[in-house]
Amino acid sequence: MLRRNLMLALALALAGCSTFSPDNPPRVRLATTTSTYNSGLLQELLPPFEESTGIRVQVLAVGTGQALALGERGEVDLVLVHARRREDEFIKQGHGMERRDMMWNDFVILGPPQDPAGLRGGKDAPAALARLKDKRARFVSRADDSGTHIRELALWEEAGGVPVGETFYLEAGQGMGNCLTLADEKEAYILADRGTYVAFSSHLDLEVMVEGDPALRNPYGVMLINPRRHPHVQFAAARKLLDYFTSAAVQRRIEEFRVAGEALFHPAAQMSP
Amino acid sequence: MIFLWEGLAEAARLLWTGDARTYHAVLVSLSCTTAAVSLAALLAVPYGAWLGLYSSTPYRRVQVFTLRVAMSVPTVVLGLLVFAFLSRRGLLGELDLLYTRTAIIVGEFLLAFPLLGSLVYGATARVEARVVETALTLGARRGQALVKVLGEVRPALVAAMLAAFGRCVTELGIAITVGGNLPLHTRTLASTAQLELSRGRFAAALAPGFLLLVLAAGATMLASWPERNSRP
């Protein structure tokens, strides 16, 4: 009696679960970085696509490292990330294909208003980091294998080496927002993407110290997961989304997108002047 | 500081205006947690009571030890464990359950089971062996004796269920790792809070927190209702 009730309850619960997730219309999964999602850009670009094609897009907003890992395992149908060297590797290893530039945004180096290292107004990012190291001014590193972290490391390399282990180099291991808050509380310098900084600026004392260096440009690439490696991917639907992202109309919409009155992303066509 | 008030106001506004995403997140949080805790209770309560009452159970101490250690597994690790099985490369990849509410329920089941099991074990282990023996000598079968004892420790059972509910409804690791935080699909109140925080919208991040409190209050009231009725 008890056992029969138990089986019945289990069966009911499982039946409840399965009616829960009807996946009837074609569905594309896009793994992307938090910056594109959190800024609200994708929420603006995707609904018209879903409406005109009937394809549902599920967005997994994770770090670049995780997005590529999900692509490598075939959990998603396309990826939109910003770490050019990793993307090329990803293609070379046969996980991804048809990479296209979609857009770019830029990084800024932020610091406390007192600016103890005297970076304000700088245009040369590696030189600014070298100066930080010289003055032993606090710097918060994402240290989470994200696209921003990868860029941080590249800039430090150019500045003569990553100061891992130094007391002024704080490895946070958290998302951009949490790191900004941390840097603000610790009166430290930090490399941030402009979008997240704009979203957080009303909670922060941090100010822009260095911007406009071409080395701070952050290109976003979108690519398809190789269907030969993962036969189950929604290749045709994913390619439609890829074409849509790089279409003239969407490129224009990217250009016109504003958060708090600021342009955050620029069409990739502007990449080469 | 001011965003604390803004958070409260935001929670009220979202509820008042019938915000679809908010209500959906409430529904996902409630349904997944209820399903997971109920399923876990169905198995963990008899199991914990069995361990507590019958000291002759083979490897009893090992089982209790395992239950207690399993309580400390971080939710992110539980999430990854479920991910490993449900991933397209995993054993159950064919089912295409990754990034669904079912996946969240499976993870939360794993979260609730050891907690319920060890709390019920703790509650029943203190019941004197005499109660069981008396019931048995009076002709009760083992299952019946177990039901009798569970009735005796009902307040502890309610507390265990509420603890499991609270742990599941607030957890983040599972919801994000195997749920994917997909809006209007697998986004829970807790993962909404996390997302809004990462967007720098502090008030909007607090709102789900207040809604969670309301849910917790509701669950507690519901759980203590039969208790109040049975004890005038």
> Between chain A and chain B, how many beta carbons pairs sit less than 8 Å apart?
69
- Domains A26-105+218-270 and A106-216 are alike in CATH topology: yes
Q: Tell me the CATH class for A26-105+218-270.
A: alpha beta
What confidence score (pLDDT) does residue A250 get? 95
CA dist., res. A8 & res. B22, Å (int): 32
Using one digit for the tens of pLDDT, what is the confidence trace for A166-199? 999 999 888 888 899 899 989 999 999 998 899 8
Percent of chain B predicted with pLDDT > 70: 97
pLDDT at A4: 54
* CA of B183 vs chain A CAs: smallest distance (Å): 8
Q: Is B14 domain-assigned? A: no
SS3 assignment, position A235: helix
Residue B94: closest CA among chain A residues belongs to which residue?
A232
DSSP letter, residue B138? T
Q: How many domains does chain B have?
A: 1
Q: Find, in chain A, the residue whose alpha carbon is nearest to that of B187.
A: A60
Domain region containing B147: 20-188
pTM recorded for the entire structure: 0.80
Chain B CB contacts of A38 under 8 Å are 195, 198-199
Q: Report the alpha-carbon distance of residue B126 to residue B141 in Å, rounded.
A: 20
The amino acid at residue B8 is L
Which of A99, A60, A97 is CA-nearest to residue A82?
A99
- Residues of chain A in contact with residue B198, where contact means CB-CB under 8 angstroms, are 34, 38, 175-178
Hey, which CATH number is domain A106-216, 2.40.50.100, 2.60.40.60, 3.40.190.10, 3.40.1390.20? 3.40.190.10
Are the Cβ atoms of A203 and B202 closer than 8 angstroms? yes
Structural domain spans, chain A: 26-105+218-270, 106-216
Q: Which residue has the tokens 């019941």?
A: B127
- A199 to chain B, any CB pair closer than 8 A? The answer is yes
Give the pLDDT confidence score for residue A26 in this predicted structure. Answer: 87
Task: Give the pLDDT band of residue B68 (cuts 50, 70, 90).
Answer: very high
Per-residue pLDDT of chain A (273 residues; tens, 9 = 90+): 445 555 555 555 555 444 444 446 689 999 998 888 888 899 999 999 999 999 999 999 988 888 999 999 999 999 999 988 899 999 999 999 999 999 999 999 999 999 999 999 999 999 999 999 999 999 999 988 888 998 999 999 999 999 998 999 999 888 888 899 899 989 999 999 998 899 888 889 999 999 999 999 999 999 999 999 999 999 999 999 999 999 999 999 999 999 888 899 999 854 433
SS3 A166: coil
Q: Is residue B3 part of a domain?
A: no
The shortest C-alpha distance from A95 to chain B (Å) reads 14
Distance CA B160, CA B120 (A): 7
| Residue B83 belongs to some domain of the structure | yes
User: Which residue from A minimizes the CA distance to B43?
Assistant: A6
Instruction: Tell me if chain B has a CB within 8 Å of the CB of A175.
Output: yes
Of A20, A75, A178, the CB nearest to B102: A20
Q: Is the ipTM of this complex over 0.90?
A: no
